Amino acid sequence: MKFSRFLALVLALMMVMGLVPAAMADEEPVKISVAGYMFGPIDNERDVITPLVEQQLKEKHGINVDIEVVYIEQANYAEILNTRLTGDKAPDVFLAQSATALNSYYDQGVIKEWDEDFFKENAPDVYNFIMNGAAYGDLVNDVDAWKKASLKDGKMIVIPSFKPDGSMPYKTLIYRGDWLDKLGIEQADLPKTVDDFVALMDRFTNEDPDGNGQKDTYGCSITAMKALFGAYGLGTGFVGSNSYWVNKDGTIVNGDVTEEAKEVIGILAKMYAANLIDPEFVTGKESVEGSYWAISHGMVNGLYGVSANASIDHYRLKEVLNDDGGRCAQEYWAVNGEDSSFVYGPWPAGPKGDYGWQVGTSVAVSESAVYNAKMSDEKLALIFKILNAFATDEELYMTAFAGIEGTHYEKNADGTIKRLMGNEELNAVGVWGCRSLYGNDRAFSQLGYDLAFYKDPSIANRLNWFKKDQYNSYIQDAVTETLPSSDLFAELNTIRDETWVAMIRGEKSLDDWDAYVQSWMNAGGQTLTEEANAWFNGK
């Protein structure tokens, strides 16, 4: 009941004392269901944060709502949400997930659309914050990109994220420290070229790095394989999502049909034939169903020696925040022992000196909220007013973002906070449950941006690593806007994945590459390539 009886009693007493108008006390709250990004399920019996948020919204802003936090597991978010949309049981607020998914929702007519003036009227402080370039004005040159990302056919359909860390590198290779120790490899000696990387994968496979006397290890996982695409200047979506576009002397081509991609597939085919690759790479997943999405269970459990499934922050050491460490680090220590180690590794460089992992831009829609088309305009206006309240009320925001001081977090002298529970436990008691109501992972306010980025020591930790040579990933998409025919990617990605898997496994020859490119073009690749070049030449 989320303290509803208790609140009713409090309101009744306040009414008797003349502190609350009778009409307000009798008013039925507007029910809003929200399914944002969550680390674990909320426990309605222990949820102390959502009732506090509701209380503060009502008492301080005159917004009377009953918020239902809906947990949808991140690893299966799209599948579960689509089932709920089909069954007319989708929440009021849910995640766009990607530009492709956003367009699909729009085409299906399952999300709301509204005028820019409507947004400006109901969330004026948020609107001004964005138009002025965010917290410190450093994103002012990206305002137009934010506007474009929010629109479809002249109407707004999403509130995109707008943050400096969107274009910050976030991943690196994570190696098993014990395997490196067994092979006598120091961090400074980790491979910085493709040839050296493949050689180390060979050692991981054939030199018994786990010391059990059996030949039961592999070199790397699917995400570590993807690092080889970076060595050839490509950002790849293999397996499952869209790859990056590449600017080749003023002409835009998709990385999936380049000669560089062919080179990488050839390398991977040789690695697979030599048993250096986990054969389960075909699933495109490294986490076990139902577990935290960023955990590479194959690497954690000693099946292979290197992964890029998670960020440095997921493998954050305890001393960075004086806490239990990153979520994946905790899993690693739980399985391998508190004294076990993992090592951040550089990206291997290719023949032209390219290296790295794909990085994004300050504008994105992946964790942005969209709104169920079945809701009324009045409810959407109320949701935007809530968004604005979070941007202007620091107490309200801190309740939703951090919880109760002394119970869920402590304030540090430098203005940052120390969380007193793990992410899943915080979600259980309601912290972050309103995440998609106050923005994305932060409110549109200086406080929100300071806590999540500018004053966050975990961000500083990542940035310090990304200052190092060959840790500073830099591969960006040459096309930063959703193309009109982007729905064609669904079939194109299937063609790519099936063909590449067959080539890597030796079921198809690399000599079939030209035929693959032609089939990719015929299935819509030509249309998308023309659209990409038209956008590039007209931007």
SS3 label, residue 114: strand
The tens digit of pLDDT for each residue in 140-195 reads: 999 999 999 999 999 999 999 999 998 899 899 999 999 999 999 999 999 999 99
Q: Distance (Å, rounded) from C-alpha 539 to C-alpha 537?
A: 6
Q: Distance (Å, rounded) from C-alpha 378 to C-alpha 55?
A: 21
The mean predicted confidence, pLDDT, of the chain is: 93
The tens digit of pLDDT for each residue in 468-491 reads: 999 998 899 999 888 989 889 999
Q: Which residue has the higher pLDDT, 306 or 103?
A: 306
For the chain, list the domains and their CATH numbers: 4-168+363-463 (3.40.190.10), 173-358 (3.40.190.10)
Mean pLDDT across the stretch 7-30?
A: 55
Phi-psi region of 63 (alpha: psi -120 to 50; beta: other; left: phi over 0): beta
What is the model's pLDDT at position 9? 43
Does the pLDDT value for residue 506 go beyond 80?
A: yes
3-state helix, strand, coil in the chain (%, to 5): 50, 10, 40
H helical segments located in 326-445:
327-336, 377-392, 394-402, 423-428, 435-438
What is the model's pLDDT at position 25? 52
What is the model's pLDDT at position 6? 45
Question: Does pTM top 0.85 for this prediction?
Answer: no
What is the model's pLDDT at position 480? 85
| Among 243, 210, 205, residue whose Cα is nearest residue 226 | 243
- How remote is the C-alpha of 303 from its chain's centroid? 26
| Cβ contact 45:426 at 8 Å | no
Confidence of residue 26 (pLDDT cuts 50, 70, 90): low
The tens digit of pLDDT for each residue in 185-240 reads: 999 999 999 999 999 999 999 999 999 999 999 999 999 999 999 999 999 999 98
Does the pLDDT value for residue 328 go beyond 80?
A: yes
Q: Which residue has the higher pLDDT, 254 or 19?
A: 254
Confidence of residue 12 (pLDDT cuts 50, 70, 90): very low
Share of the chain above pLDDT 70, in %: 95
What is the model's pLDDT at position 22? 45
For the chain, give the number of residues. 539
Does the pLDDT value for residue 453 go beyond 80?
A: yes
Between helix 259-273 and helix 194-206 the angle, nearest 10°, is: 20
Does the pLDDT value for residue 10 go beyond 60?
A: no
Does the pLDDT value for residue 21 go beyond 70?
A: no
Task: Look up residue 79 and give its amino acid.
Answer: E
What is the model's pLDDT at position 175? 98
Confidence of residue 13 (pLDDT cuts 50, 70, 90): very low
Where do the DSSP E strands lie in 202-250? 218-220, 245-248
Does the pLDDT value for residue 3 go beyond 60?
A: no
